[in-house]
Amino acid sequence: MRLNVGVVFGGKSVEHEVSIISALQMVENMNKLKYNPITIYLSKENEFYYHKDMNKIDFFKDLNRVKLVSKKILFQKNHPSNEIHEIKNNRLKKLYPIDLVFLLVHGTTSEDGTLSAFFELLDMPYVGSGILSSAINQNKWKMKQILENNNIQSVSYIGFYESDYYNNKEHIIRKCEEIGYPLIIKPASLGSSVGITKCYDREGLNKAIITSLQYDVEIVVEKVILDLLELNCSALGDYSNLEVSSIEQVFQKDEILSYQDKYLRGKTKNSKGMESTNRELPAKINEKLRLEIETTAVNAIKIIGGSGVSRIDFLYDKSEGKLYLNEINTIPGSLAFYLWAAKGKEYKTLIDDLIVLALNKYRTKNTKISSYDTNLLSLPKNFNKGKISN
Ligand SMILES: Nc1ncnc2c1ncn2[C@@H]1O[C@H](COP(=O)(O)OP(=O)(O)O)[C@@H](O)[C@H]1O
Ligand SMILES: [Mg+2]
């Protein structure tokens, strides 16, 4: 029997459109003999919609129309099964049972653990990292702190809150200048280069911080690596077993590898989305660096407790000969399928692996004790004279 796989994409994030591309690519590559994909669009207003044509990219040309012509739905736990229901005239009508959910969202309020939490609460198996690791990875500042404590190095940086900046600008600017110009300023929780600027002097630094503060209350300021190689690889699995993909080198076009570079450049009718980034795959790097990347990627995913498929992005300083971990994406664009294809794993197989992992994770979770059947309130009347501790 085919598994009904709810593919959830969209979401309230600057990477909304990227997520649509990732999801439809994935659906196209699913083995339809094993899975029945049910595409579920999460609007920018955080409402779920279903339409049978949602597996076609043209359907999303006008996002307002998508909401008008699609069925507004709800996820319903109907123990032990999970279902989606259409909301029609204030009534619920069952549409499909859902065996598991495939999260294909990028960025804040989705890839950051929010959606993982939603499906944890519904007790539904889902493909994607858990709440904690997703949340850590979405925050560049907190992620660096955790990795640093485990001897995985980031480029010299400082992180601060909006209030730190406005309450003591001089202190923050001094700390940044101790790192030394040029600096790169990033909102802690965004992606796709949104809100990121480089600066070369104090005036530029203040401007860049104010730009980043339009997007986030947490800011990261880093040293710019001038003699830079950007190297990425993907990891698949969880704490018990992790496989690493081929390593790619990606090339900058503008000053910063921008949203344009990543998704829009060279876009044609049949654009392959994230696949169209300028890259060399496999990257031409020596064996020592390859091993360092692979080992660091596996350690990093283990430290943050990631599961599923992640992309781990590195910055390599050629003149220093030093490797730094830049960021981890727990739901990478295109699920980083091209990095696996370069290693001989077809996209179809990657999807199979992810689904097996998700189902195993769910089963393991359910073997652990999470509650007791005893009802405290049914105990003898004077039980509450004692102290209750939790
Ligand atoms: N410390 C740095 N030195 C030089 N370039 C950097 C540095 N940090 C980021 N960049 C450039 O900016 C791009 C976006 O930064 P990144 O931290 O990856 O943010 P995002 O989450 O938006 O992808 C990188 O792909 C790289 O091209
Ligand atoms: Mg990046």
Q: How far is the CA of 244 from the CAs of 46, 322, 336, in angstroms?
A: 34, 21, 11
Q: Does the model's pTM come out above 0.75? A: yes
Same domain as 106, residue 55: yes
Same domain as 299, residue 210: no
Domain contains 379:
no
CATH number of 198's domain: 3.30.1490.20
| Each residue's pLDDT tens digit, 242-283 | 999 999 999 976 555 555 555 555 444 444 445 556 899 999
Same domain as 359, residue 235: yes
| Each residue's pLDDT tens digit, 219-238 | 999 999 999 999 999 999 99
Same domain as 282, residue 174: no
Q: What's the CA-to-centroid distance between 328 and ligand 2, angstroms?
A: 8
- For residue 145, give both structure tokens: 């702190």
Same domain as 230, residue 214: no
Same domain as 117, residue 39: yes
If pLDDT is split at 50, 70 and 90, which confidence band does 107 have? confident
Q: What's the CA-to-centroid distance between 389 and ligand 2, angstroms?
A: 45
Same domain as 337, residue 243: yes
Same domain as 256, residue 219: no
Same domain as 287, residue 312: yes
Domain count, the chain: 3
Domain contains 376:
no
Same domain as 211, residue 111: no
Stretch 125-144: mean pLDDT, rounded? 94
Domain contains 378:
no
Domain contains 188:
yes
Same domain as 293, residue 356: yes
Same domain as 206, residue 108: no
Q: Tell me which residue range forms the domain holding 164.
A: 156-223
> Ligand 1 pocket by C-beta < 6 Å: which residues?
155, 184, 186, 190-193, 196, 222-225, 228, 230, 252, 256-257, 313, 315, 326-327
